[in-house]
């Protein structure tokens, strides 16, 4: 991809030339690239899913830009990558769900007040982590929201019910980000 600082030759070109070259302005420069080719044949199910995700992401980004929540606009703007605008930052956040990296159970003894530590990350911000504790039989013992620690990536959940049999118990951690995407991790004790 070539670019120009609006020279005498390229001026302020915009558009397509002969279905071969595309000129557009980006970051104050004229950028030249190969023209995209039209798809041949019908879209695959995977391509249709990606198209649907981008449609939803664009709707989310539009709602951020046109919405009245100045706080989220400012937060996205503060985290812009090079050559990125508010719309593309919101699309990127929508397209990237959070990831639960680890569930630390070394401090969870099954007694009331014992803790579980969850590490959850996102390309922008994790807004909450829900913890579910299941007995070995599969019965849900308890669930609740974890509290974020000061390091910004770890969350802690404090057990409110006793779990007499730890072996075979299952712990789920579900992280949520700003657009509402979720990421899950489960561990069995």
- Rounded average pLDDT over 74-96: 91
Strands of 2-4's sheet in order across: 2-4, 29-34, 21-26, 15-17
- pLDDT value for 35: 80
pLDDT over threshold 90, residue 13: no
pLDDT over threshold 80, residue 4: no
Going by pLDDT thresholds of 50, 70 and 90, the confidence category of residue 10 is: low
Closest residue by Cα to residue 109 from 166, 157, 169, 161: 166
Going by pLDDT thresholds of 50, 70 and 90, the confidence category of residue 1 is: very low
Length of the chain: 189
Provide CB contacts within 8 A for 67, sequence distance 6+: 73
Phi, psi of 176 (to 5 degrees): -125, 140
- What distance in Å separates the CA atoms of residue 21 and residue 29, rounded to the nearest whole number? 16
Reduced to 3 states, what is the DSSP secondary structure of residue 54? Answer: helix
- What distance in Å separates the CA atoms of residue 126 and residue 153, rounded to the nearest whole number? 8
Going by pLDDT thresholds of 50, 70 and 90, the confidence category of residue 164 is: confident
Contact 50, 24 (CB under 8 A): no
- Residues 22-31 pLDDT 10s: 877 777 777 7
Q: Per CATH, which fold does 99-188 belong to?
A: Immunoglobulin-like (2.60.40)
pLDDT over threshold 90, residue 5: no
CA angle, 77 then 118 then 180, to 5°: 45
Residues of the chain above pLDDT 90, percent: 69
Q: Where do the H-state alpha helices sit in 25-169?
A: 45-66, 70-78, 86-95
Question: Which residue ranges make up each domain of the chain?
Answer: 11-35+44-95, 99-188
């Amino acid at each position: 991809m070539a670019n120009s600082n609006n020279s005498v030759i390229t001026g302020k070109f915009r558009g397509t030339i002969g279905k071969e070259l595309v000129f557009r302005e980006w970051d104050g420069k004229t950028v030249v690239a190969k023209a995209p080719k039209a798809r041949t044949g019908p879209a695959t199910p995977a391509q249709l899913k990606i198209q649907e995700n981008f449609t939803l992401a664009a709707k989310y980004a539009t709602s951020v830009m046109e919405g009245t929540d100045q706080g989220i606009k400012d937060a996205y703007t503060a985290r812009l990558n090079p050559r990125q605008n508010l719309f593309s930052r919101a699309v990127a956040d929508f397209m990237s769900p959070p990831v639960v990296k680890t569930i630390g159970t070394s401090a969870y003894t099954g007694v009331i007040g014992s803790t579980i530590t969850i590490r959850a990350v996102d390309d922008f911000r994790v807004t909450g982590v829900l913890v579910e504790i299941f007995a070995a039989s599969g019965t849900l013992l308890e669930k609740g929201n974890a509290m974020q620690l000061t390091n910004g990536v770890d969350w802690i959940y404090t057990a409110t019910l006793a779990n007499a049999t730890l072996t075979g118990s299952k712990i789920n951690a579900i992280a949520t980000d700003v657009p509402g995407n979720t990421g899950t991790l489960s561990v069995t004790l």
